[in-house]
A and B are shown apart, each in its own frame.
Chain A
Amino acid sequence: MALEPSAQAALALHRFGLGPRAGSIAAIASDPRGALLAELDRPGAGQIAAGNLMTSGAANRAVFEFNAERRAKQRLEQARREAAKNNGDAAMAPPATANAEGDDARPMRPNPALPLPLQLLQREAKARVDAAIAADIGFVERLVWFWSNHFCVNSQATVEAGGYEREAIRANVLGRFADMLLAAEGHPAMLLYLDNAQSIGPNSVAGINRSRGLNENLGREILELHTLGVRTVYGQSDVTSFAKVLTGWTIIPTVSNPDHGGEFVFNKRMHEPGPQTVIGKTYSDPGVAQGRAVLADLARHPATATHVATKLARHFVADDPPPSLVEKLALRFRDTDGDLKELAKALVGAPEAWSAEQAKIKRPGEWLIAMLRATGLGGDIGRIMRTLTRLGEPLWRPPAPKGFADDNAAWLEGLALRLDTANVFAQRVAPRLDPAAVAETALGPLASAQTRRTIAAAESKPQALTLLLMAPEFQRR
């Protein structure tokens, strides 16, 4: 706590936000904590005005139509080719275009006509990046990123990853944990990602008729990852029972319903009938309400409070956060019935969260956005997504349901990749910038004398900028 106010402001921008933009440090120097709290209170905080963005249901249907049309075209083309071959008419064969368009030639081509699923993904990604760059501090965006990673889905499993984040995460990011939990687990993206859409109760009508069965994936991950935490209060029978509770939580088939295909539906025919016991409590079976009741109890369970508090403190403060901080956060979670805005306030209100040491390495996405904010440059969304992929944090493509790792060890090895990235970025943009001014913007009083000297002694602008972007004070938060 020995930091002077403007250093604390710079620290706040890195630790709780997405890094300073020009003037950010001065703007919040008089009251960094107050500025963070004010961002939470802003109307519409965390929401993206959805102009050109589709609801996840609409996106699902559009992609379904796109794929169907593409398949039809391919079949027609194939039939035409076979007809041509049978006629022995070589002139009918389509012109060879593969020549200049092999894999290596691909970067030469722009993307005027990305396939629809990629267009939708890029649109969602751009909205997310724009929000991150536009934020004054970025505390709420960081909370969105945190919760989105906590309740992660994978855009390769579902076209709706972007819509999911807006509909399930952003909509509740400063609301109640129970609501976010329900929105996430009942969202088609999650039901697809964790296979619940096809989970069928063995004694349900569909189960008896089709001899297909239960899929425990979602039930287990909710207990292990989203609520109670691994090795806590549940066992295999709880997993099985909970999975049965969740049977019937599925998706309207798009093929048969052009208006609502892809949206959530509770399908009673797939639902395991009868009461289930989960963690010592028996839930009767009124249908979809059975699952809602279990989720509501999970949201309120003390193990969930501790699990969430630990993850939040680990994300913002340190790999091994002070136990007193975790306890404070868990207590606030319990006392407010999982009010996530109150939880965020408790975080910035805790002295433990303000230690001068920058204990955490930024994740690649945080670092990349901080680079763009510090230099005042926008970025091409395709390039940003490729860079994230190269740095090991491809947007909405976590390696597993656990999400991207949140400890330093996982990201340290990527340091050399960051150096290559910073170098290329600096080569491209440094001629337009004054590295010393960028350092003042990005670090201000946080910059050590050694870092300042190193930047000043660089032999070129690109080198100076590279060194700044790689400096410990900019890599850490």
Chain B
Amino acid sequence: MIMPRHFPTRRELLAASGVLFAWPFVPRIARAEGRDPRFFTVILRGGLDGLAAVAPVGDPDWIALRGDKALRLDGATPALPLDALFALNPAMPNLHRLFKAGQAIIVHAVATPYRERSHFDGQDVLESGLPAPGRVDSGWLNRALAALEPGGRADARHARAFAVGPITPLVVRGPAPVMSWVPPRLPPVSDDTTMRLLDLYRHTDPALARVLEDRIGLAAIARAGGMEGAPATNIGPVMQIGGIQQVRAYFAEVTGAAAKFFASADGPRVGALAVDGWDTHVNEGAVGGRLAALLGALDGAIAATESNLGAAWNDTVVAMITEFGRTARINGNDGTDHGTGTVAILFGGALKGGRVIADWPGLKTADLYEGRDLKATTDLRAVLKGLLREHLRLDDKVLAAAVFLDSAAIAPLGGLV
């Protein structure tokens, strides 16, 4: 059994993990207005390819840029039109339906202020809400909670009911009290860990190696395709340890359960959860491949969220955000590398939706950031500040000084809610 030379690294391949954190209070001002708003954010770790999720099919340079990997309206699996310029990945019919119903917004060519391409630094900036990476111990959502005045405990009955989660995402770390809940299903292990274990087994324990290989599906592919010396690009789609069904079930379970908690009259109101697996360096598969499957899982999670929220759906905003986008062009492994501009996906009954918000930078080489990435023309902080201000009633000054530090120059985006 010869392994391809390129071992996918930690975040290159599919893995999912998620923990819901929630704030056990109802925001006071909103309550005074007679509203009972829900807000949660989903961190898509690994760098979502915004161009594969929401394609600029009306841009004349689009097809040339992505070639046969480009989503298109006239493809075998046609993209779902959003407006004159943009179309949604066909794996996301639920999001499309919500968009058409005015309950979803896509913000495109958006990014945090971070302009390097390290996942870890990028996630730090995304979750800390600071303008640059560095030592941080709190996240913007937690600081937003700390700034909100509680208008009564939301969870009188369930105050002690949340289990302590295994991994606290930075976005909710900080001074405000949060509870965590861990879904009963295990998040699949990362592929990198699996590959390291497989390597160990191959050197020391053929019987265990065989089991793990079968599990991964490599052995079957190698037997069928004579993998020796074949390029790494052939192995991408089969490397999912848990399989897409497991990931799909996990996404839906986590978000669906979260939505049930949020729907409950005395449940939490503000929360976050993190989902890994968006680092699509190899065989990205935006149409009918791995990323399509992953987006489909996300779409299922969106549907589960909507249906499980019940009447609370109309008071809800969910923001799906990621640390950065990916290269505009396809790389040598039919994937994409770390980039800059991407999308933010907002949905929920409280939105004034049905719009793609984008100051579109264009796709000619000269338009791309450093000649390679979709340029970011909207600061993600503006989007999040807009949501926190209009939905949770956080004050502009607090947002600029305490939540997204040093962001006074970044005006909250208005009219989202």
What residues make up the interface of A, taking CB atoms closer than 8 Å to B? 99-100, 102, 104-105, 107-110, 386, 390, 408, 412-413, 415-416, 419-424, 427-428, 448, 450-451, 454, 457-459, 463, 466-467, 470-472, 475-476
A412 and B211 within 8 A (CB)? yes
Flag the segment in B128-136, B187-195, B346-354, B364-372 that touches A: B187-195
B193 and A420 within 8 A (CB)? no
Knowing A100-B263, A108-B181, A424-B187, say if A408 contacts B207 (CB, 8 Å). yes
Q: How far is the CA of A368 from the CA of B412 in the complex (A)?
A: 51
A107 and B184 within 8 A (CB)? yes
> Does B112 have its Cβ within 8 Å of any Cβ on chain A?
no
Q: Which 10 pairs across A and B sit closest by C-beta, in order of nearness? A: A100-B264, A472-B205, A423-B189, A428-B166, A427-B166, A104-B257, A416-B215, A420-B186, A454-B200, A108-B161
Contact of A450 among B163, B204, B253 (CB under 8 A): B204
A467 and B196 within 8 A (CB)? yes
Contact of B166 among A104, A109, A412, A424 (CB under 8 A): A424
> Does B7 have its Cβ within 8 Å of any Cβ on chain A?
no
Contact of A109 among B161, B184, B190, B208 (CB under 8 A): B161
| Interface size of B as a range | 35 or more
Which residues of B have CB within 8 Å of A475? 208
Q: How far is the CA of A450 from the CA of B200 in the complex (A)?
A: 7
> Does B249 have its Cβ within 8 Å of any Cβ on chain A?
no
A467 and B181 within 8 A (CB)? no
| A429 CB → nearest B CB, Å | 9
Which residues of B have CB within 8 Å of A472? 200-201, 204-205, 208
Residue of B nearest to A109 (CB): B161
Which residues of B have CB within 8 Å of A412? 207-208, 211
Q: How far is the CA of A450 from the CA of B202 in the complex (A)?
A: 10
Q: How far is the CA of A476 from the CA of B189 in the complex (A)?
A: 21
Q: How far is the CA of A458 from the CA of B189 in the complex (A)?
A: 14
Knowing A450-B200, A466-B189, say if A107 contacts B208 (CB, 8 Å). no
Knowing A451-B200, A467-B200, say if A100 contacts B192 (CB, 8 Å). no
A419 and B189 within 8 A (CB)? yes
Find residues 145-167 in chain B having any chain A CB closer than 8 Å to their own CB: 158, 160-163, 166-167
Residue of A nearest to B242 (CB): A420
Fill in one digit per residue for B157-185: 1 if any A CB lies within 8 Å of its CB, else 0.
01011110011000000000000011110
Which residues of A have CB within 8 Å of B119? none
Q: How far is the CA of A109 from the CA of B182 in the complex (A)?
A: 12
Knowing A104-B256, A466-B189, say if A450 contacts B261 (CB, 8 Å). no
Residue of A nearest to B187 (CB): A424
Q: How far is the CA of A412 from the CA of B193 in the complex (A)?
A: 19
Q: How far is the CA of A386 from the CA of B267 in the complex (A)?
A: 26
Knowing A99-B265, A100-B264, A107-B181, say if A467 contacts B197 (CB, 8 Å). yes
Q: How far is the CA of A109 from the CA of B267 in the complex (A)?
A: 12
Which residues of B have CB within 8 Å of A104? 253, 256-257, 260, 308
Q: A102-B260, A423-B186, A467-B200 are in contact. List 6 more A-B contacts (CB 8 A).
A: A100-B158, A107-B183, A108-B261, A419-B212, A424-B187, A454-B199
B205, B212, B242 pick with most chain A CB within 10 angstroms:
B205
> Does B10 have its Cβ within 8 Å of any Cβ on chain A?
yes
| B243 CB → nearest A CB, Å | 10
Which residues of A have CB within 8 Å of B192? 459, 463
| A112 CB → nearest B CB, Å | 9
Q: How far is the CA of A420 from the CA of B160 in the complex (A)?
A: 27
| A379 CB → nearest B CB, Å | 14
Which residues of A have CB within 8 Å of B10? 459
Which residues of A have CB within 8 Å of B188? 420
A105 and B193 within 8 A (CB)? no
| A434 CB → nearest B CB, Å | 19
| A454 CB → nearest B CB, Å | 5
Q: How far is the CA of A390 from the CA of B186 in the complex (A)?
A: 10
A450 and B203 within 8 A (CB)? yes
> Does B282 have its Cβ within 8 Å of any Cβ on chain A?
no
Q: How far is the CA of A386 from the CA of B212 in the complex (A)?
A: 23
Q: How far is the CA of A427 from the CA of B187 in the complex (A)?
A: 11
A419 and B257 within 8 A (CB)? no
| B266 CB → nearest A CB, Å | 8
Which residues of A have CB within 8 Å of B308? 104
B193 and A463 within 8 A (CB)? yes
Instruction: Provide a sorted-by-A list of 15 A–B residue pairs whose CB atoms are within 8 angstroms.
Output: A99-B263, A104-B260, A105-B260, A108-B181, A386-B184, A419-B194, A420-B187, A420-B242, A423-B189, A451-B200, A463-B196, A470-B197, A472-B200, A472-B204, A472-B208
A416 and B208 within 8 A (CB)? no
Residue of B nearest to A425 (CB): B166
A423 and B190 within 8 A (CB)? yes
Q: How far is the CA of A408 from the CA of B207 in the complex (A)?
A: 10
Fill in one digit per residue for B239-276: 1 if any A CB lies within 8 Å of its CB, else 0.
00110000000000100110011011111000000000
Contact of B200 among A99, A428, A471 (CB under 8 A): A471
| B169 CB → nearest A CB, Å | 12
B158 and A108 within 8 A (CB)? yes
B200 and A110 within 8 A (CB)? no
